């Protein structure tokens, strides 16, 4: 690592000697230590963004004030980097002592000079493109970690890779899961006092969730915590979770272990250095349907819960289950943050989360006791959370039957992985809220078939009879009409909305709060904007040609404050965005005050939507294609073939001609569309193609052009 200005060297010299332990890195590169992480706002650290949520409390709040509610109008683009992909970029960059570390699609990491974007090194872990098939929302990751001279990648294929932060050279690699099962990793690793902690994804495909801690210096496994029980006939796992699994077992029924059970912790992990606890946010069940997973009985611990474990040993401390009896793909892997809040005259150490189910939860983080819960969007799942038992009081009839019904929120969520921030100054939490609804039904008894490496929901996507099919369509139109998205400022003490900024659709990005009374967010309207943190008034905005879904960061080098964000659409699926939604290639964007002369290339021009080809298949084939599409493709391409990573209603004639080669031979694997040749035969792929042509014909009109 070379620093050209003496100012930076002086800053580093200041930061290092008094704090160094024996194992600390001799250079300034990624010099992240326990001492620094415990004092994130100290002079030497305030200009950094050293971990995913900036500080251990993951508040995504920066004390920097050069860019503030009075100066933000002078914000301009300082530099940008084209990330050479149209895939979604969900990652939060890290900035340590002048160097910005970023990770793009397929876990390719680049280190930049944070001032001007000069590239210092790039490391490509060469993830096999086939792994993209397990990532619903693009072959992305939400971040990397930095510690003691190293950068850590948790790759899509399960490798945990430590790099030398000075030059990007690989130091060691461990494989964190058995590749025989359909696991993947999209979450950001966290490092807590020398331990790299990471979970994984895959509940939708049928795996058993776990989180593990690895020694940050050597990659040695330290502990492993399963989130759901395995087959009782196999006995205990011999892992830190054994006691917790014995307690969870009575809440499961049937033969869930055959389908993995789920509970994957695919995003949020938070560490409390004072209590020495790691909080794990767990996901949905596998299969999604409670009926097929657990015979429609039992809470199914620890699905959709926050589980607190001892950071040293991984031993269970407490849990709070937000969604017992999960039937709706409600995950509780959404961002969690720690804060000290004054509630009823008493300062409480809390952990906060706004998971998919649309409720905002405040818990005592020492004990897991529920302090309050209120819905932050309209929802049709539970009338309230019973404060005595901590359990949701479900509306009657919310469990899935074979008859289609609307559920709000949908599996696409009231709030997904998109980072939320908290300003201790305003006392408000800022999150991208979504009102999305879905039509659910489960398959009839005897129809659910577990297929490894495919979505295993147990959901019906078609309607068992023509009448039910028609009902689905009618309900879907109702659900679409209710769709909304907005930036929400939420008061976690009063449990009520402070203000909101409405957008045309759901799907906007994560937020950043600063001491300059600002909140930054990228919107579905393809702008990057700054709002007054106290009032929500819009103070600055720039069109960026893409949706910055990831978490923005801010940092300071040589006395200049910067704001950086990755702008790369997808990573959140919006069903109803309209046809031909256009974006520029994904880019890392960096702003500072008074920056001039750097402009982004224009959006690609709109094009007329291609007329769909003539449908040559029978109604039966189309129906078969619809169910296969639902099971195999809808996770990425949207329910009813709308929206998603690429809208398959609007394929060009050339793509139609190549359809079978794309789907069965993987000729677009480099772009993130891997082969399904192991799951589908030619006839099934053709049935899906017929279904897509039929959907395109339903929705196509002569006037339709891109917007």
Cis peptide, bond prior to residue 287, ω within 30 of zero = yes
Regarding 135 and contact with ligand HEC (CB under 6 A), the answer is yes
Regarding 673 and contact with ligand HEC (CB under 6 A), the answer is yes
Closest contact distance (angstroms) between CB of 483 and ligand HEC is: 22
Query: Between residues 220 and 449, which has the closer beta carbon with respect to ligand HEC?
Result: 449
Closest contact distance (angstroms) between CB of 141 and ligand HEC is: 14
Closest C-alpha among 538, 529, 517 to residue 61: 517
Query: Which of the ranges 179-187, 207-215, 478-486, 666-674 carries the binding residues for ligand HEC, by CB under 6 A?
Result: 666-674
For the chain, what is the largest distance between any 2 Cα atoms, rounded to a whole number of angstroms? 76
Q: Could you tell me if 296 and 448 are in contact, meaning their C-beta atoms sit under 8 angstroms apart?
A: no
Q: Could you tell me if 360 and 354 are in contact, meaning their C-beta atoms sit under 8 angstroms apart?
A: yes
Closest contact distance (angstroms) between CB of 656 and ligand HEC is: 8
Q: Which residue has the tokens 């006839």?
A: 683
Query: Between residues 83 and 651, which has the closer beta carbon with respect to ligand HEC?
Result: 651
Q: Could you tell me if 22 and 28 are in contact, meaning their C-beta atoms sit under 8 angstroms apart?
A: no
Of 356, 418, 668, 695, the residue at the interface with ligand HEC (CB under 6 A) is 668
Q: How far is Cα 149 from Cα 163, in angstroms, rounded to an integer?
A: 8
Regarding 185 and contact with ligand HEC (CB under 6 A), the answer is no
Using a 10 angstrom Cβ sphere, with 0-12 exposed, 13-18 middle and 19 or more buried, the burial of residue 169 is exposed
Q: Could you tell me if 205 and 286 are in contact, meaning their C-beta atoms sit under 8 angstroms apart?
A: yes
Handedness of CA 147, 51, 95, 144 (dihedral sign): positive
Regarding 659 and contact with ligand HEC (CB under 6 A), the answer is yes
Residues with Cβ within 8 Å of 16's Cβ and at least 6 positions away in sequence, in order, are: 24, 28, 31
Query: Between residues 586 and 589, which has the closer beta carbon with respect to ligand HEC?
Result: 586
Handedness of CA 650, 654, 659, 663 (dihedral sign): negative
For residue 428, what are its two tokens?
């408000």
Q: Could you tell me if 587 and 568 are in contact, meaning their C-beta atoms sit under 8 angstroms apart?
A: yes
Query: Between residues 402 and 655, which has the closer beta carbon with respect to ligand HEC?
Result: 655
Going from the C-alpha of 488 to that of each of 265, 350, 433, 534, 576, the distances in angstroms are 25, 20, 6, 12, 21
Query: Between residues 165 and 696, which has the closer beta carbon with respect to ligand HEC?
Result: 696
Closest C-alpha among 280, 268, 158 to residue 207: 158
Regarding 583 and contact with ligand HEC (CB under 6 A), the answer is no
User: Contacts with ligand HEC: how many residues (CB under 6 A)?
Assistant: 25
For residue 397, what are its two tokens?
């009839």
Q: Could you tell me if 127 and 138 are in contact, meaning their C-beta atoms sit under 8 angstroms apart?
A: no
Q: How many residues does the chain have?
A: 707
Regarding 569 and contact with ligand HEC (CB under 6 A), the answer is no
Using a 10 angstrom Cβ sphere, with 0-12 exposed, 13-18 middle and 19 or more buried, the burial of residue 616 is exposed
Closest contact distance (angstroms) between CB of 455 and ligand HEC is: 8
Q: Could you tell me if 282 and 262 are in contact, meaning their C-beta atoms sit under 8 angstroms apart?
A: no
Q: How far is Cα 30 from Cα 33, in angstroms, rounded to an integer?
A: 9
Query: Which of the ranges 408-416, 515-523, 539-547, 670-678 carries the binding residues for ligand HEC, by CB under 6 A?
Result: 670-678
Residues with Cβ within 8 Å of 159's Cβ and at least 6 positions away in sequence, in order, are: 125, 153, 173, 174, 175, 176
Of 101, 562, 676, 691, the residue at the interface with ligand HEC (CB under 6 A) is 676
Of 277, 363, 590, 688, the residue at the interface with ligand HEC (CB under 6 A) is 688
Of 359, 672, 686, 696, the residue at the interface with ligand HEC (CB under 6 A) is 672
Regarding 655 and contact with ligand HEC (CB under 6 A), the answer is yes
Regarding 695 and contact with ligand HEC (CB under 6 A), the answer is no
For residue 425, what are its two tokens?
């100054």
Regarding 622 and contact with ligand HEC (CB under 6 A), the answer is no
Query: Between residues 3 and 131, which has the closer beta carbon with respect to ligand HEC?
Result: 131
Closest contact distance (angstroms) between CB of 262 and ligand HEC is: 18
Closest C-alpha among 281, 331, 341 to residue 309: 281
Q: How far is Cα 137 from Cα 89, in angstroms, rounded to an integer?
A: 10
Q: Which residue has the tokens 């970023």?
A: 102
Closest contact distance (angstroms) between CB of 375 and ligand HEC is: 31
Query: Which of the ranges 132-140, 373-381, 514-522, 575-583 carries the binding residues for ligand HEC, by CB under 6 A?
Result: 132-140
Q: How far is Cα 397 from Cα 89, in angstroms, rounded to an integer?
A: 38
Let me know the angle formed at the C-alpha of 177 by 455 and 452, rounded to the nearest 5 degrees: 25
For residue 503, what are its two tokens?
């957008």
Closest contact distance (angstroms) between CB of 595 and ligand HEC is: 31
Closest contact distance (angstroms) between CB of 522 and ligand HEC is: 20
Closest C-alpha among 693, 678, 57, 71 to residue 423: 57
Closest contact distance (angstroms) between CB of 659 and ligand HEC is: 5
Query: Which of the ranges 22-30, 55-63, 479-487, 669-677 carries the binding residues for ligand HEC, by CB under 6 A?
Result: 669-677
Residues with Cβ within 8 Å of 509's Cβ and at least 6 positions away in sequence, in order, are: 418, 432, 521, 522, 523, 547, 548, 549, 550, 551, 552, 565
Of 257, 671, 697, 699, the residue at the interface with ligand HEC (CB under 6 A) is 671
Closest contact distance (angstroms) between CB of 657 and ligand HEC is: 11
Closest contact distance (angstroms) between CB of 574 and ligand HEC is: 15
Query: Between residues 536 and 625, which has the closer beta carbon with respect to ligand HEC?
Result: 625
Q: How far is Cα 387 from Cα 373, in angstroms, rounded to an integer?
A: 8
Q: How far is Cα 660 from Cα 663, in angstroms, rounded to an integer?
A: 5
Of 12, 151, 662, 693, the residue at the interface with ligand HEC (CB under 6 A) is 662
Closest contact distance (angstroms) between CB of 688 and ligand HEC is: 5
Query: Between residues 166 and 454, which has the closer beta carbon with respect to ligand HEC?
Result: 454
Of 203, 373, 663, 696, the residue at the interface with ligand HEC (CB under 6 A) is 663
Regarding 624 and contact with ligand HEC (CB under 6 A), the answer is no
Closest contact distance (angstroms) between CB of 200 and ligand HEC is: 16
Query: Between residues 130 and 313, which has the closer beta carbon with respect to ligand HEC?
Result: 130
Query: Between residues 455 and 530, which has the closer beta carbon with respect to ligand HEC?
Result: 455
Closest contact distance (angstroms) between CB of 700 and ligand HEC is: 14
Of 61, 86, 121, 147, the residue at the interface with ligand HEC (CB under 6 A) is 86
Going from the C-alpha of 92 to that of each of 46, 190, 335, 360, the distances in angstroms are 17, 12, 13, 23
Closest contact distance (angstroms) between CB of 157 and ligand HEC is: 14
Regarding 104 and contact with ligand HEC (CB under 6 A), the answer is no
Regarding 156 and contact with ligand HEC (CB under 6 A), the answer is no
Closest contact distance (angstroms) between CB of 662 and ligand HEC is: 4
Alpha carbon of residue 640 to chain centroid: 22
Query: Between residues 518 and 645, which has the closer beta carbon with respect to ligand HEC?
Result: 645
Regarding 690 and contact with ligand HEC (CB under 6 A), the answer is no
Of 133, 166, 472, 695, the residue at the interface with ligand HEC (CB under 6 A) is 133
For residue 252, what are its two tokens?
């499961």
Query: Between residues 338 and 645, which has the closer beta carbon with respect to ligand HEC?
Result: 645
Contact letters for ligand HEC, residues 625-654 (x by CB under 6 A)? -------xx-xxx-------xx-x--x---
Interface residue list for ligand HEC (CB under 6 A):
86, 132-133, 135-136, 138, 632-633, 635-637, 645-646, 648, 651, 655, 659, 662-663, 668, 671-673, 676, 688
């Amino acid at each position: 690592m070379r620093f050209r200005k003496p100012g930076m060297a002086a800053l580093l010299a200041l930061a290092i000697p008094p704090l160094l332990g024996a194992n600390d890195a001799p250079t300034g590169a990624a010099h992240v230590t326990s001492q620094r992480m415990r004092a994130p706002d100290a002079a030497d650290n305030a200009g950094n963004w050293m971990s995913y949520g900036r500080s251990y409390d993951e508040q995504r709040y920066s004390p920097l004030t050069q860019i503030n509610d009075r100066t933000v109008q002078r914000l301009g683009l300082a530099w940008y980097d084209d990330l050479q992909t149209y895939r979604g970029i969900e990652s939060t960059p890290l900035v340590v002592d002048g160097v910005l570390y970023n990770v793009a699609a397929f876990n390719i990491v680049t280190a930049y000079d944070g001032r001007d974007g000069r590239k210092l090194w790039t490391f490509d872990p060469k993830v096999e493109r086939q792994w993209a098939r397990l990532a619903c929302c693009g072959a992305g990751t939400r971040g990397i970690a930095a510690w003691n001279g190293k950068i850590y990648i948790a790759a899509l294929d399960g490798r945990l890779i430590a790099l030398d932060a000075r030059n990007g050279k690989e130091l060691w690699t461990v494989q964190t899961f058995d590749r025989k099962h359909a696991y993947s990793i999209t979450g950001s690793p966290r490092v807590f006092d020398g331990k790299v902690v990471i979970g994984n994804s895959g509940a939708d495909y049928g795996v058993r969730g776990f989180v593990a801690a690895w020694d940050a210096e050597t990659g040695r496994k330290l502990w492993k915590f399963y989130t759901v029980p395995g087959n009782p006939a196999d006995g205990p796992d011999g892992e830190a979770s054994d006691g917790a699994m014995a307690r969870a077992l009575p809440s499961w029924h049937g033969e869930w272990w055959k389908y993995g059970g789920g509970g994957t912790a695919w995003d949020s992990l938070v560490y409390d250095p004072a209590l020495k606890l790691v909080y794990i946010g767990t996901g949905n069940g596998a299969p999604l349907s409670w009926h097929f997973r657990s015979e429609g009985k039992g809470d199914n611990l620890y699905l959709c819960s926050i589980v607190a474990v001892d950071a040293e040993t991984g031993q269970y401390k407490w849990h709070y289950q937000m969604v017992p009896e999960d039937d709706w793909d409600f995950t509780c892997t959404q961002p969690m943050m720690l804060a000290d809040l004054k509630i009823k005259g008493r300062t409480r150490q809390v952990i906060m989360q706004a998971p998919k189910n649309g409720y905002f939860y405040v818990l005592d983080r020492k004990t897991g006791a529920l302090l309050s819960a209120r819905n932050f969007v309209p929802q049709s799942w539970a009338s309230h959370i019973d404060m005595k038992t901590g359990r949701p009081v479900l509306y009657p009839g919310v469990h899935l039957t074979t008859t289609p019904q609307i559920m709000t929120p949908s599996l696409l969520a009231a709030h997904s992985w998109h980072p939320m921030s908290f300003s201790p100054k305003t006392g408000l939490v800022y999150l991208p809220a979504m009102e999305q609804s879905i039509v659910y039904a489960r398959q009839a008894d005897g129809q659910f078939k577990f297929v490894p490496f495919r979505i295993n929901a147990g959901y019906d996507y078609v309607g068992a009879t023509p009448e039910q099919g028609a009902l689905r369509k009618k309900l879907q139109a109702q659900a679409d009409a209710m769709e909304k998205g907005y930036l929400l400022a939420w008061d976690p003490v009063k449990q009520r909305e402070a203000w909101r900024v409405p957008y045309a659709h759901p799907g906007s990005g994560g937020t950043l709060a600063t001491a300059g009374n600002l909140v930054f967010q990228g919107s579905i309207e393809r702008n990057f904007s700054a709002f007054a943190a106290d009032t929500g008034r819009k103070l600055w905005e720039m069109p960026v040609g893409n949706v910055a879904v990831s978490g923005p960061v801010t940092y300071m080098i040589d006395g200049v404050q910067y704001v950086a964000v990755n702008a790369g659409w997808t990573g959140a699926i919006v069903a109803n965005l309209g046809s031909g939604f256009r974006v520029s290639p994904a880019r890392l964007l960096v702003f500072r005050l008074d920056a001039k002369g750097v402009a982004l290339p224009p959006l690609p021009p709109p094009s007329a939507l291609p007329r769909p080809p003539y449908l040559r298949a029978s109604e039966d084939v189309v129906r078969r294609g619809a169910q296969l599409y639902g099971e195999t493709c809808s996770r990425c391409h949207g329910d009813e073939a709308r929206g998603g990573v690429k809208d398959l209603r609007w394929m060009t004639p050339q793509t139609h001609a190549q359809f079978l080669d794309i789907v069965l031979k993987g000729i677009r694997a480099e772009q993130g569309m891997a082969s399904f040749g192991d799951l589908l035969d030619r006839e099934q792929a053709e049935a899906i193609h017929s279904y897509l042509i039929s959907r395109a014909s339903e929705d196509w009109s002569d006037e339709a052009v891109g917007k």
